[in-house]
């Protein structure tokens, strides 16, 4: 990774915070790895979703040793409220200059920098928790997954709903054959954030309407290091369409839209229940692709081969205005979000916190299996306990969440390429559509390498 002298703004900020009894009234200290059994944690990205992780680490009684954020305002608040003695950094490359006193790192940056912020920790043998989706693209995801495997550390992707009880009950019902073998699954979300007309945006309650790529620049907000925020992506001038979150995630340069974001949560359920592996084919459609902006509405269809005793299965994703035909025909309850498992002996409809066996009259008096998947202490706690050797491996470790993330990204690849893909997962190739491989990764801005 490139090294550069801190900007004047960053030097002043570090003087204020780290050397800085002046603002916070605490002496600057450097923590060694905790001798008291607490996990020594560093956090990269402490605004937005990162605020929840700062709180979780504190609530669980672990030690926050270092924090980093490109936004001085977010970083200052986190220091003042949660860990005034922690080292402070604006640039995560500076953060990694000293990590001998860390046991674990939590990454909550924009997804286009997830791989860059995660890989140094893995290569240094640190446990890693990374927010979803694991990376921006398939290429980065494969690198992170393989590095985590080599590192042998405890990893977790921030798929918080995976820790919920309802998902566990759904998995148990599918695994015990309550609806018979499953060969067809549909997953849909009503969120429609992305490229669409103004009228569609109003109808879909997209409050951050994004008509097109802006051509004018706007002033960079005070405290935000915009160049660092851009990081490895192609440089573009600041505009309110890009920042703050969740505006950025609808831009291909910075995220992957609803598919890879909510797909991390929603597609997790069929992935877990059906033990899915890399898809054989992927096709997608819906609205016309935009070169810069992810779609508001789209669908993507995957085929998976047999897995042990489980049959081949077709899984279709829908977002925004797209819905399964069985939903449109009124043959199932019109839940705005859900997954429908279609088995030989019935159907199972599930959302985050509820499930329904269909047809209801057939399952009247049905006795579900006795719960056998242990409760989770919570997504962060599950990982922290594993890091300390006090619990089992996290369920969303990178060997699980990496392939899930790759599959979600492939839905976008098929959408952008406008063709059905035959996926060679081992070689990371699309033999029937070589031109689509350009969407598997990208070149990075000068000075940025993985």
**Three-class HEC string of 290-358:** CCCECECCEEEEEEECCECCECCEEEEEEECCCCCHHHHCCCCCCCCCEEEEEECCEEEEECCCCEEEE
N-terminal to C-terminal alpha carbon distance within the chain: 7
Structure tokens given for 8: 């004047």
Packed helices 257-266 and 398-417: angle between N→C axes, nearest 10 degrees: 150
What pLDDT shows up at residue 214?
A: 94
Partners of 284 in the β-ladder: 300
Residue 173's pLDDT is what?
Answer: 98
The mean pLDDT values, 10 residues at a time, for the chain of 450 residues are 36 37 30 69 96 96 98 96 95 96 97 98 98 97 98 97 98 98 98 87 81 95 98 97 91 93 96 98 95 96 98 97 97 98 98 98 96 97 97 97 98 98 98 98 96
Question: What local confidence, expressed as pLDDT, does residue 448 receive?
Answer: 97
pLDDT (0 to 100) of residue 32: 37
CA distances from 269 to 19, 43, 185, 235, 250 (A): 47, 28, 10, 37, 23
Whether the bond into 133 is cis, omega within 30 of 0: yes
Taking Cα atoms as reference points, which of 239, 195, 193, 241 lies closest to residue 218? 239
Query: Which residue in 408, 274, 270 sits closest to 340, CA to CA?
Result: 270
Please tell me whether the peptide bond between 244 and the residue prior to it is cis, using omega within 30 degrees of 0. Answer: yes
Backbone angles phi, psi at 281, to 5 degrees: -140, 155
Which residues in the chain are classed under CATH 3.40.50.720? 8-160
The answer to whether residues 196 and 206 touch, using CB atoms and an 8 Å cutoff, is yes
pLDDT value, residue 346: 98
Please give the full DSSP string across 128-158, using - where no structure is assigned.
EEEESSS-SSHHHHHHHHHHHHHHT--EEEE
Name which of 156, 157, 159 is nearest 167 in CA terms.
159
φ/ψ of 143, rounded to 5, equals -65, -45
DSSP codes joined into one string, 238-289: --TTT-STTGGGGBTTT--HHHHHHHHHHTHHHHHHTT--S-SEEEEEESPP
What architecture does CATH give domain 8-160? 3-Layer(aba) Sandwich (3.40)
pTM assigned to the model: 0.91
Domain with CATH 3.30.360.10 in the chain: 163-376+397-439
CB 1 within 8 A of CB 117: no
Span 163-376+397-439: which CATH code?
Answer: 3.30.360.10
């Amino acid at each position: 990774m490139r090294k550069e002298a801190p900007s004047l703004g960053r030097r002043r900020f570090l003087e204020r915070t780290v050397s800085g009894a002046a603002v916070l009234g605490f002496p600057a200290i450097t923590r060694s790895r905790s001798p008291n059994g607490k996990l020594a944690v560093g956090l990269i990205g402490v605004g937005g979703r990162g605020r929840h992780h700062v709180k979780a680490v504190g609530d669980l009684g672990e030690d926050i040793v270092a924090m980093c954020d490109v936004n001085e305002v977010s970083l200052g608040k986190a220091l003042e409220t949660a860990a005034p003695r922690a080292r402070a950094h604006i640039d995560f490359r500076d953060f990694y200059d000293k990590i001998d006193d860390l046991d674990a790192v939590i990454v909550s940056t924009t997804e286009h920098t997830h791989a860059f912020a995660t890989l140094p920790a893995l290569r240094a043998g640190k446990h890693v928790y990374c927010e979803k989706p694991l990376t921006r693209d398939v290429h980065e995801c494969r690198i992170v997954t393989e590095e985590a495997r080599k590192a042998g550390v405890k990893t977790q992707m921030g798929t918080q709903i995976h820790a919920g009880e309802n998902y566990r009950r759904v998995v148990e019902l599918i695994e015990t054959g309550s609806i018979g073998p499953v060969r067809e699954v549909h997953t849909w979300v009503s969120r429609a954030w992305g490229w669409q007309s103004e009228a569609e945006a109003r109808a879909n309650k997209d409050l951050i309407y994004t008509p097109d790529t802006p051509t004018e620049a706007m002033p960079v907000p005070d405290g935000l290091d915009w160049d660092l925020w851009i990081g490895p992506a192609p440089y573009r001038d600041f505009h309110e369409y890009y920042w703050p979150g969740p505006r950025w995630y609808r831009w291909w340069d910075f995220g992957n839209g609803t598919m890879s974001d909510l797909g991390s949560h929603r597609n997790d359920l069929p992935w877990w229940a059906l033990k899915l592996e890399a898809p054989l084919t992927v096709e997608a459609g819906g609205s016309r692709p935009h070169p810069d902006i992810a779609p508001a509405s789209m669908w993507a269809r995957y085929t998976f081969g047999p897995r042990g005793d489980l049959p081949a299965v077709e899984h279709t994703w829908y977002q925004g205005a797209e819905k399964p035909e069985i939903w449109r025909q009124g043959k199932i309850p019109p839940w705005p979000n859900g997954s429908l498992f279609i088995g030989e002996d019935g159907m199972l409809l599930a959302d985050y916190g509820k499930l329904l066996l269909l047809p209801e009259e057939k399952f009247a008096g049905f006795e579900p299996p006795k719960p056998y998947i242990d409760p989770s202490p919570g997504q962060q706690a599950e990982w922290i306990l594993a890091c300390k050797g006090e619990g089992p491996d996290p369920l969303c470790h990178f060997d699980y969440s990496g392939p899930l993330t790759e599959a979600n990204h492939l839905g976008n690849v098929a959408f952008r390429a406008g063709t059905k893909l035959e996926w060679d997962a081992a070689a990371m190739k699309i033999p029937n559509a070589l031109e689509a491989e350009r969407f598997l990764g990208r070149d990075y801005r000068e000075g940025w390498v993985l």
